[in-house]
Amino acid sequence: MAGTVEVKIAECKAVWRLDAAAVSQVQHPNCLMGGPFHFLDHLVEVHFYPHGDPRYTAEQFKGHSSLTLFSDQPFKLTLHSNETRLWSGTLQDKQRVHESLRPASSRTKFGLVSASFPSSAFEGGKLVEFTVCFHGIPGASISLQDQALQFLGRQLDSTKKEYAVLQDQKNDQTSELRRSTQEAEQLRAQLESSKQENLQLRALLGEGGAGPVDAGQLARWHREMDRSTMATTPYDVVLAFNSLAKFLKTRRIRLLKNAESKLDIMKSESVRIIAIVGLFEKGKTWLINKLFGVNLPSGTLHETDGLSFLWIPERRMLLIDSAGVQCPVSYCAPSGAGSEESVDDALFDAKSSESFLFEMISRVASHMVFVVTSFTSMEQQYVEMLRRKYVARGVHKELIVVHNMLNVSNPDVAQQVFEKQVTTCYVGDMSTLGRLIFTAKKGKGPPVHHIGLCYEWSRAGDEFNEKNRQYLLQSLEHRELETEVVLQDQLREHLSELLKMFVSTELPEKADGPEPSFSVEFCSEDKAVFSPGDEALLAEDAARRLGHEGKVRVKQVRDDEPGVYIGFQGGEEEKEAWVRSDELLPVEGGPEVEMIPAGYVCGGTFTLKVEAGADLKMKTRGVISPLGELIGHNTTFEPHVNVYNETSEKGEVYRKIRIECPGVAEEDIELDDESLSAGFLLTITKKAGIDEQAKNIESVGGSFRQQQGRWQREFVLEKTDGKFEDPTYKLQDGILEITMRKKQKKCKARQGYGGRTEPAPSEAPSEASWSKVSLQDQEQ
C-alpha cells in the first residue's frame, strides 16, 4: 500500500495521503494502491493512475489522471482531491468493470469505473490527498452506529489481549530482574567478605606493618573465619522507618517481626534496652557481633534498615541497631528527580529522619553506646547533644562511647591516640580495671564512659579488645536494673510525642476552630492505609489485574482488612471485587507497595490518625543559605517574644510584652484574660502571604521561606510580681505591644503598742520624732 490511509469513523470518511515525489515516479499505465483498508466492517480499495485510465494510451489521456474505487458494499459516496470534488454517486457491480481496472481483493464486489481529472493539481511538489466521504450504508444510520460499536468492541478486545500478554511479560521480567538483583547483591557481599578476609590474613602475615603473626592469632583468625560463614543472625523486630516524609504521606509504619523470633512485642517483658548508635559505617553491627557472639549482616555493602531490634534472652537484653547518621541519600525521587528542589527535599528529609530516629532512640534506650572511629568534632557534638538531652529531661542514663580505632595495631600508638582524642579533651579519671578506659565528668547529668578498641588482628587488639569488651558488657549488665516493657506501647508513645515536635497540622483556609490533633495508633494486623487519592490508583491497578480496562469506582476502603473493595462494569452487569493490599502491584505515580523481606511477617502497623480535612506538614523545610548550606527553615509561626518591666518618670511600673509578628492583622489576635486567674492567654494566627500551591506562582532562586500557623502562649503573673491592671495592646509596624500597669500599694497606719507614751514630736523632723507604727499593706 502506498502512502497512509486515515479512517475517521466519527466523520464517516477516509483520507488517503501520498507524497508528490512518489507520484511523479509512476509511469503509465501503472498505479498507486491505497488499501485494501477497513471502514467499519467493510473493505475499501482505491487505485490512483497519475497518467490516466490504463484503457487508453498516455497520449490520449495526456494531462489527466484517473481514480478507481472498490468496496464490498454499494456505498453512496463523494470523492475529493485536495479539496476539489471529483465524483459523487453510488458504486456499481464490479462485473461491469474492465479487466485492467480489477481490484486486488476478491471480496470487493462493487466499484467506481473511473473518475478523471486534470493532473495539474499535483504539480509543484504538493501533497496528494484524496478524501472518500461515505454517505451511508443501505438501511438506516442506526445500522452504521451498531457496526461502529461492534467494530470498536472487537478492537478493544484485541487490545486487551495484547495488553494482557505484555503485562505478563512485564511481570515475568520484573520477577527475573528482582531475582538477578538479589543474586548480584549476594555475589557482591561474598566479594566484600573475601576482600576483608584477604586483608586480615595479610595483616596476620606481617604485611602493612602489623608485625609477625603468632600461633594463637592464626588459630583465632581461623575461628573467626568459620564464624563468618555460619548462618546470618536475623533481627527479631524491625521498625521499617527510613523517611519522615514518606511516613506523613503513607501514614503508616510497619513493625516487622521475624517468623521464628521468641520475642513477644505485645507482652510485657523484663528487659534492658541498649542502643548501638553512631555515624554511618563506624562498626556498630560489628561491635554487636563481637559482644554477643551473633552474626548480624555487616560490611560496606549492607545497610541496617530503620530501627532493628535483636533479642538476647539469656542476658535479658534488647539491642537497637540503626542505619547510622549521615547515610548516603538517594536523589532519585519519583517526580522531578535530579532537579535542585528534589535534591534539597531528599537531603533535608534524610536530615530530619535521622534527627527523628536519633531522638527516639535516646528516649527508648536505657543505655546508649555511641561508636566512633577518629572521634571528630561532629561525633563530639552528637555525644554532647545526647548528654544534654538527658540533663534537660532529668533522666540518668548511661552513655558509653566506644572508640573503634580499627587502623591502630601498636599498643603504644593506641595509648597515644586514646590520650589525644579523650584524656586531653575531657576532665575525668582513668579506670583502674584496664587501659583505654576513661570516665569523663562534666557538671550535671550522667558521666560519659570512653572505651577504646583496636584493630582486631594485631598486638594492640590482643592486649586491649577482649578485656575492654568484657568491661563494656559487665557495665551494661550491672549498672541498670531491668524494666518491664511492652515494645509496641513504648514505640507508639514515643512516636506520638516526637511527631508533635517535628510535624504541624493545617486546616483548609476557611476552616475555623482550634488546631486539629493527630495521634499514632497500633494495630496488630497489617491494615491498608491510604493517602488521599491513593484509593483510586490502587483500584485501577486491581481492576487491571482482573482484566478490566474501563472506569473503576472505589466502593469501600476497609479498615478491618488490608485491601480495597472496588466496583466496575463487566458487560451489562456491575461487578465487585475484593483485592488484598499485598496482591496489588506498584502503580506509576501511585503509592509505593512495600515488600516484606523473606523470613519476616508483619507484626502490626503504626497508623497516623488525623482529623478530617486536616493536612500534616513538616515544621521545618530545607532551604539553601547564601553560603550554599542546607539549613532548616521553621515554617510554623514562632514569633520572638520579649517580656520586661519599665518604670516611668512618676515611678509607675509597667509590664510590657513585645511580640514581633509581621503580616498579622488585629483580627488575627485573640487576648483572653478570663481563662486564667492571674494572667492571660494570647493566640495569634498568621496566614501565608504567598499561596505556594497556586498554578500561576513559581519560586525563583530557591524554595519559599515563609511562616504560617496558629501560635498560642499563656502569660502567667507570679504572686511575687504584685498585681497588675487588665492588659491593653496595640499593633503597629508588625510589632504587638501588650502593656499592664502595676497596681500601687497603699499603706494604712495604725497606733501601735496601746497605752505606751512616746515623746512629743520636735520641730526638726528626725527618726526619733516619729511615733512607732505598724504598717499593714492594703492593696487596691
The reply to whether 421 and 502 lie within a common domain is no
The reply to whether 627 and 487 lie within a common domain is yes
Q: Tell me, yes or no, whether 595 lies in a domain.
A: no
Domain boundary among 84, 118, 138: 138
- Collect all residues with Cβ–Cβ distance below 8 Å to 662 and sequence separation of at least 6: 734
Find the mean pLDDT for residues 511-515: 50
Domain containing residue 641: 637-687+707-753+767-780
Which carries the bigger pLDDT value, residue 12 or residue 402? Answer: 402
* Collapsed DSSP state (helix, strand, coil) of residue 227: helix
The reply to whether 722 and 661 lie within a common domain is yes
pLDDT digits (tens, 9 = 90+) for 256-288: 888 888 888 888 888 888 999 888 778 888 898
* Collapsed DSSP state (helix, strand, coil) of residue 631: strand
For cell 492588659, the residue is 727
Mean pLDDT of the chain: 74
Q: How many domains does the chain have?
A: 5
Q: Tell me, yes or no, whether 153 lies in a domain.
A: no
The reply to whether 536 and 606 lie within a common domain is no
Which carries the bigger pLDDT value, residue 293 or residue 506? Answer: 293
The reply to whether 324 and 414 lie within a common domain is no
The reply to whether 422 and 278 lie within a common domain is no
Find the mean pLDDT for residues 639-647: 91
Q: Tell me, yes or no, whether 210 lies in a domain.
A: no
Q: With beta carbons less than 8 A apart as the criterion, state whether 120 and 126 touch.
A: no
State the virtual CA torsion across 220, 226, 227, 231 in degrees, nearest 10: 180
pLDDT digits (tens, 9 = 90+) for 474-499: 888 876 666 788 888 989 999 888 88
Q: What is the CATH number of the domain that holds 743?
A: 2.60.40.790
C-alpha of 707 from chain center:
22
Cα–Cα distance between 439 and 459 in angstroms, integer?
25
Q: Tell me, yes or no, whether 206 lies in a domain.
A: no
The reply to whether 719 and 748 lie within a common domain is yes
Look at 135-149, 515-529, 736-750 and tell me which has the smallest mean pLDDT: 135-149
Q: Does residue 337 carry a pLDDT above 90?
A: no
pLDDT of res. 416:
92
Q: What is the CATH number of the domain that holds 55?
A: 2.60.210
The reply to whether 615 and 656 lie within a common domain is no
Q: Tell me, yes or no, whether 166 lies in a domain.
A: no
Most confident of the following: 167-181, 442-456, 631-645: 442-456
Cα–Cα distance between 44 and 509 in angstroms, integer?
61
Cα–Cα distance between 119 and 47 in angstroms, integer?
15
pLDDT digits (tens, 9 = 90+) for 339-381: 555 566 777 778 788 888 888 888 888 888 999 988 888 888 8
Strand order in the sheet with 573-580: 552-556, 563-570, 573-580
Q: Does residue 436 carry a pLDDT above 60?
A: yes
The reply to whether 325 and 245 lie within a common domain is yes
The reply to whether 517 and 613 lie within a common domain is yes
Cα–Cα distance between 144 and 433 in angstroms, integer?
99
Cα–Cα distance between 608 and 519 in angstroms, integer?
6
* Collapsed DSSP state (helix, strand, coil) of residue 265: coil
My answer on whether omega of the bond before 36 falls inside 30° of 0, hence cis, is yes
Cα–Cα distance between 689 and 696 in angstroms, integer?
15
The reply to whether 398 and 543 lie within a common domain is no
Cα–Cα distance between 617 and 613 in angstroms, integer?
13
The reply to whether 426 and 310 lie within a common domain is no
Q: Tell me, yes or no, whether 401 lies in a domain.
A: yes
pLDDT of res. 28:
78
Q: Tell me, yes or no, whether 659 lies in a domain.
A: yes
Kindly report the pTM of this predicted structure. 0.52
H or E segment to which residue 496 belongs: helix 487-502
Q: Tell me, yes or no, whether 305 lies in a domain.
A: yes
Q: Does residue 178 carry a pLDDT above 90?
A: no
Domain boundary among 138, 154, 183: 138
